[in-house]
Amino acid sequence: GENVEQHPSTLSVQEGDSAVIKCTYSDSASNYFPWYKQELGKRPQLIIDIRSNVGEKKDQRIAVTLNKTAKHFSLHITETQPEDSAVYFCAASIPTSGTYKYIFGTGTRLKVLA
C-alpha cells in the first residue's frame, strides 16, 4: 500500500548542531520527494525537494539524500538556528489517475534550543 514512515517524531538539538530526519516510502512508483516546513498556524512551505533520478541535493544549510534501492530519503539541516524550530513533513509523490498525489510522512517536531 501507499505509506511513508517518518522518524523521529520529535527532535531536540542545541543551536549550531545538525539535525537529521529520515523517511521511508513503500510505493516504487514514487518519483519526487519534497520536504515541507510548517510553523504553528501557518501553511506548509516547500524547503527542498529531490527527484528520483538524483541522489543528493543541497541548498545552503539544508540537504536531502535519496536511496532509491532502499526507498529511503533524509533531510539534513546543519548549523541549526532557533528559527528552524517547526514541524517538518516529508512526502512522496505518486502518479495516479492521470495526475499525482502526495503521501505525507507523520511529521517531525524539531526544537532548536538556544
Q: Which is nearer to other proteins, 16 or 46 (CB)?
A: 46
DSSP secondary structure of 26-68: --TT--EEEEEEE-TTS--EEEEEEETT-SEEEETTEEEEEET
Give me the least distance between CB of 79 and other proteins, in Å please: 26
Q: Which is nearer to other proteins, 11 or 102 (CB)?
A: 102
Q: Are 6 and 22 in contact (CB under 8 A)?
A: yes
Give me the least distance between CB of 102 and other proteins, in Å please: 7
What are 11's strand-pairing partners? 110
| Contact set with other proteins (CB under 8 A) | 31-32, 34, 36, 42-46, 49, 51-53, 87, 89, 93, 95-102, 104-107
